[in-house]
Amino acid sequence: MKDRFATRPGEMRLDGTLDPQATITFIGHIESPWRLEDCPKNLRAARERGLGATLHVAPRFRAGLEGIAPGDALVLLYWMSEAPRDLIRQVPRHRPEGTGTFNLRSPARPNPIGMGVVAVLEIDSARGRVRIDAIDAIDGTPLIDIKPYMPLADTAPTG
């Protein structure tokens, strides 16, 4: 079987192990149609496949869903637990040359945090379920946080 985390020519791994300096509380998980083998590389590709997903928020965090409604855009942060954490320079298949991990949206990074802006299709706050339009995460991915997307605040700097 091919090593799915084998490095490509030009890639570089970190020396030694990572030193955890913080803790994260998962607020739930993502139910998606994806396995590691067929997961889309980004949200655009996930939307093109036309399959949604469901956020499952743990009971103690469900009150935090108050105010969220169908049609809202949310920023999700999720822990891409299957990604390697020691790849600091990468050579993506879509680029002719390699680059630093922090110049990529790849899940392979010291802290494999995924981020996506999604649309709410349905919400059941009492059951902690939020159906969304798409996701680029495998089934069971831990959910770190949910934030509202705010167009006036979430814009790239100009100039």
pLDDT tens track for 50-79? 999 999 999 999 999 999 999 999 999 999
Q: What pLDDT shows up at residue 158? A: 81
Low-confidence ranges of the chain (pLDDT < 70): 1-4
The identity of residue 99, as a single letter, is T
The domain covering 25-82+115-148 belongs, at the CATH homologous superfamily level, to YaeB-like (2.40.30.70)
Written as one string, the DSSP assignment of 118-131 is EEEEEEETTTTEEE
Q: What pLDDT shows up at residue 3? A: 62
Q: What pLDDT shows up at residue 1? A: 44
74-111 b/e (C-beta count within 10 Å ≥ 16 → b): bebebbbebbbbbbbbbebeeeeebeebeebebbbbee
